[in-house]
Structure 1
Amino acid sequence: MARQSGSSSQRPGIRQVAERAGVAVGTVSAYLNHPDRVSVARARRIAEAIDELGFVPSIAGRQLRLGVSTLIGYLSPDVSNPHFSEIAEEVERRAERLGMTVFFAHSHGDHDRENAYLEAFEQRQVRGLLVASFAPIEDRLSAMRDRGTPSVLVGRRARRAEQPSVSIDDVSGGRQAARHLIENGCRSLAFVGGPLPVQQVADRLAGAREAAPALEVIEVEERSIAAGRAVGAELARRSAGERPDGVFAANDVLALGILQSLVAGGVSVPRDIALVGYDDNEFADASLIPLTSVRARHEGFGAAAVDLLFEAIEHGSANDPQRVYEPELVVRESSRRA
């Protein structure tokens, strides 16, 4: 039988499905919520009726009946950065395996926008939240946790023991980057990143300073291609004796912008300036001069965030709530001066 036209003034409901399948309304409800409790023959008739009528179950209604949400929220600060999109894909796959749906939102680094999304997630009674933020946010997450919405901080280590988080040891990553430049013959190093109060940026700078205390710091307002191009152009205008011979950028997007302007300005990479980025996103290896980068992602990073959230949902807390991964330096042509 043909599916009913979508032009009907009213969408078919559970009662219409029951009538079409020749079963009770309660049987259809059981099929939608506990299909294992319905006989194979009835389940087949209900499935055919749903298909013929074009019936769409109400998630909101199911949530009200069962008292359990099937939604989790993921708040990301920068949709343009491949690092965050890669994590989001893994989060989605893991949540789907657990029978959950992920609602994605992007704050674009705007504090008011971030607050608005957190409020919207809480109003919709999501089961829990994954939050990647550059701003101080633990007070807000603590208040939401007290009201029944657990969360996991993604991408930086929580400062409070009770706040679960999944992060990278950015101090170690910064130290590895600077040591690598020094070991490759660089004598004058510069760090490019910002805003400096952002925890991830501050940690990467702190690590670099452990290896090179006298490095130059070039602060940028945003970690973008455009900001990197501006820094690269400024470095290219300096005389050879005034510019650093090794540059560590706080992320790959910045580093790739710097690389473009250096090459356009006649500066040889890595002979004149060796360059290291951070994140090891998908474009690092595909660059015209492949970019050395600190790999800040690990297989299972996004899945670990989801698993940690579910521990908090099911038990109210999590074992080993602060999970910190060690980054790995991936060496490519942009820093091989030998």
Structure 2
Amino acid sequence: MNIKEVAERAGVSPGTVSNVLNRPAKVSASTRTRVEAAIDELGFVRHGSASTLRAGYSRTIGLSVIDIGNPFFTDVAAGVEETASALGYAVILGNSSGSRAKEERNLQVLAEQRVRGVLITPSDEDPARLDRLRARGINVVLVDHPPHRTDQCAVSVNDVVGGKLAVHHLLKGGATSIAYVSGPLTIRQCQDRFEGASRTFPGSLRLIQMPEMTARTGEQAALDLLRTGVPDAVFCANDLLALGVLRGLLQAGVRVPDDVALMGYDDIDFASASAVSLTSIRQPTHQLGRVATELLLDECDRPTAHAHQQIVFQPELIVRESTR
């Protein structure tokens, strides 16, 4: 597939196609729309470099995550980079910030660079954009996400079990009322953790959904709890939320864990170093990155012998000072 074929499909010159790709402001809106439609119809992807063009692919893989500001994804990325480097590959990182549009732009860039494969924690459950990558010959492995199909590799953690572990521990500590502070339930991990917690708690969990899973929004959630009544225990969908809730409660004079038990999820490094060390559900972050990379490069290097695997790790309860 080349620019000439796109030009023929759109009824324009190759130079016009080049302008659409590189200098779109020079092309009228109607012509640009026609050329972009031809690009989509033909599945054209421009080459990122001459050496990549000759080889057909580069010695790079892509990694797309939801939030690189979250230490969970930083640790996963470290596992990916270490493993890829040992096998002679470089890693191109893309951060979607949970945005479908930004994620699609990042994937387009990775395709243009002719990456050997892509590791991705998708921003939503629609597999269409990943199917397009596979159709272009770019292998895809899901990270921290169950598979969309059996003919695809995926590594994930059983977050339903993680939610159960969290609430079971809080119940053992005497909690009779529990709030679940979460990001949007459209995020699979938040939904699964909520499902596991709800299955375990005999009553109704109080749900507080925040637009982002950060320490800042955790502090905002703490204000909500203080305004409407602090429960016996708070379970947060990740450690950043929990650290924000902890800060908000302590500033208001609420004692943790004497007045309220608090726990997070992921067991990032900051969890053990906070003012009150945080009970958390540990995920094998480095191992997630390592295994995902090994699966991806095995599929790239041994396409006929490769066997797709869907690997599910089990989370672990880590008890510290913030719970009874």
Q: Fold conserved (TM > 0.5)?
A: yes
Query: What are the residue-to-residue correspondences of 1:117-128 with 2, within 5 Å?
Result: 117-128=106-117
Deviation at 1:291, TM superposition (A): 0.3
1:281 aligns with 2:281: no
Percent of aligned pairs with the same amino acid = 40
Contact (CA 8 Å) 1:236, 1:267: kept in 2 or not? no
Partner residue, 1:321: 309
Contact (CA 8 Å) 1:138, 1:158: kept in 2 or not? no
Which 5+ residue runs of structure 1 have no aligned equivalent? 1-58
* Counterpart pick for 1:235 among 201, 212, 225: 225
Query: What are the residue-to-residue correspondences of 1:4-153 with 2, within 5 Å?
Result: 60-153=49-142
Return the TM-score normalized by structure 2: 0.81
CA distance in 1, matches of 2:69, 2:91: 19
CA distance in 1, matches of 2:119, 2:105: 15
Contact (CA 8 Å) 1:138, 1:163: kept in 2 or not? no
Partner residue, 2:178: 189
User: How many residues get paired?
Assistant: 275
CA distance in 2, matches of 1:288, 1:134: 32
1:302 aligns with 2:289: yes
Write out per-residue CA displacement over residues 132-178 of structure 1, whole angstroms, 9 at most, x where no aligned residue: 12312422112211220011111111231122111110000000000
SS at match of 2:322: helix
Return the TM-score normalized by structure 1: 0.78
Contact (CA 8 Å) 2:99, 2:123: kept in 1 or not? no
Deviation at 1:110, TM superposition (A): 1.6
Partner residue, 1:334: 322
In structure 2, relative to structure 1, the CA distance for the partners of 1:220 and 1:298 (3 Å cut) is: closer
Moved beyond 4 Å, runs of 4+: 59-62
Partner residue, 1:167: 156
Contact (CA 8 Å) 2:72, 2:285: kept in 1 or not? no
Q: Aligned AA for 1:233?
A: L
Which 5+ residue runs of structure 2 have no aligned equivalent? 1-47
Write out per-residue CA displacement over residues 202-243 of structure 1, whole angstroms, 9 at most, x where no aligned residue: 0000000111042111111111111110111222234xxx43
Query: Is 68-77 or 114-123 further displaced after alignment?
Result: 68-77
Taking CA–CA contacts closer than 8 Å with sequence separation of 6 or more, which of the two structures ends up with the larger relative contact order? 2
CA distance in 2, matches of 1:232, 1:280: 20
SS at match of 2:265: strand
SS at match of 1:300: helix
CA distance in 2, matches of 1:268, 1:87: 33
Contact (CA 8 Å) 1:292, 1:334: kept in 2 or not? yes
Deviation at 1:190, TM superposition (A): 1.1
Deviation at 1:62, TM superposition (A): 4.4
Contact (CA 8 Å) 1:168, 1:324: kept in 2 or not? yes
Deviation at 1:303, TM superposition (A): 0.8
